[in-house]
Amino acid sequence: MTDRDDLIQQIRVRYEEAGETLNERQRRHWAAAAAMELGRGGIAAVSRALRISPNTVKKGILEIIAGQKDTVSAEQTRVRRAGGGRKPRQQAVNPPPEAR
């Protein structure tokens, strides 16, 4: 194994130790912190180790630099805004044409 492969394996082990209790934002910030700790080439190493997009790591770095918190208050349990996803069939914007 090369040094790079060892590094990627260490990142994977540290991430698994962090547990599955992290939400989406916390995972992004964890990956960003690990990449910043590594310095040059950190984004590539972390994205490869965790199999996430480098853009996700970059977004986390920008959020950390901007000072956004990775904690979620007791009232706010959602990470994403409401309203996304597929709409129910009754509310379809363009209902399918009737069979004639």
> In this predicted model, what pLDDT tens digit does every residue of 31-90 receive, in sequence order?
999 999 888 999 999 999 989 999 999 999 999 999 866 555 544 566 777 777 787 777
Please answer whether residues 84 and 46 qualify as being in contact, where contact means their C-beta atoms are separated by less than 8 angstroms. Answer: no
Centroid of chain to Cα 63: 12
Q: How many whole angstroms separate alpha carbon 94 and alpha carbon 56?
A: 34
Of 59, 61, 45, 42, whose CA–CA distance to 12 is shortest? 45
pTM, two decimals, is 0.66
> In this predicted model, what pLDDT tens digit does every residue of 1-39 receive, in sequence order?
678 788 888 888 888 877 677 888 888 998 999 999 888
Q: How many whole angstroms separate alpha carbon 56 and alpha carbon 91?
A: 32
User: How confident is the model at residue 26, as a pLDDT?
Assistant: 87
Residue 12, judged by CB atoms within 10 A of its CB (0-12, 13-18, 19+), counts as middle
